[in-house]
Amino acid sequence: MTPWELHGRSFGNCNCAFGCPCQFNALPTYGTCEAAVGYIIDTGFHGDVRLDGLMAGFTVKFPGPVHEGNGEQQLVIDERATDEQREALQTIMSGGDTEEMATMFWIYNAMSPNKHDTLYKKLEMEIDIEARTGHILVDGVYEVLGEPIKNPVTGAEHRVRIDIPNGFEYRIAEMGSGTTTTMGGGIQLDNNKGTYGQFAEMHLGNTGIIEAA
């Protein structure tokens, strides 16, 4: 197994209500699971291939809860990546060189038998975890906007965090509100408007979350 690590920031938006039932082993709010995600890799490697400064993401869609499978997925990798970097990120994000069930990449890959061709696109991303704001733009494919949850009475920002000690994606994530617009690609997302947004640090490797980070 080739050693790898990714350290950076993540922002994702799914079609569920704030809090996302999946985080609590409950069924999706509206029965289906649809999400768009982006990653800024501050530092990283796969074997001898450095991945510092690159970005990546994916869209995914399931007819029911993720664990029932039959989903579809499309990976997106930074067009600036070299051939070696593209292969490295494709491997990691497809669950390769990873212990079983150790990362969200492994899970989504295993539960998505319907895989669209990986896209290599110009990516623009801004992710501020503390402020709960984010912007993902995958040229011609999808755009995701994130902002804090607002109190419906006062309009003040409402801060909530989820702490998952034994998770496969993060230990602590900030909750927010997200909206996704799909323009192209293989997956159309229609229900992600003012729904669950998630902002978290990313510290992952072959065996899952890297605790020391």
Q: What is the pLDDT of residues 4-17, one digit of tens each?
A: 999 999 999 999 99
> What pTM, to 2 d.p., does this model score?
0.96
Residue 105 placed within a domain: yes
What per-residue confidence (pLDDT) applies to 213?
A: 59
Cα dihedral across residues 115, 185, 17, 134: positive or negative:
positive
Query: Quick one: how far is CA 77 from the chain centroid?
Result: 13
For the cut 90, the answer to whether the pLDDT of residue 131 exceeds it is yes
209 is a domain residue:
no
Range of the domain at 164: 4-200
| Average of per-residue pLDDT across 182-189 | 95
CA distance 38 to 59: 9
Domains held by the chain: number: 1
Cβ distance 92 to 60 under 8 Å? Answer: no
Is residue 208 domain-resident?
no
Q: Is residue 42 part of a domain?
A: yes
Residue 207 within any structural domain of the chain:
no
pLDDT at 81: 98
Residue 126 is predicted with a pLDDT of: 98
Distance CA 71, CA 84 (A): 28
HSE value, Cβ hemisphere, 13 Å, CA-based, for 59: 27
Does residue 206 belong to any structural domain of this protein?
Answer: no
Residue 167: closest CA among 90, 112, 102: 102
Q: Inform me whether the pLDDT recorded for 61 exceeds 70.
A: yes
Confidence of residue 212 (pLDDT cuts 50, 70, 90): confident
Residue 187 lies in a domain: yes
Q: Is residue 136 within 8 Å of residue 143, measured between CB atoms?
A: yes
Q: How far apart are CA 206 and CA 188, in angstroms?
A: 31
The verdict on residue 17 lying in a domain is yes
Whole-number Å distance between alpha carbons of 16 and 160: 16
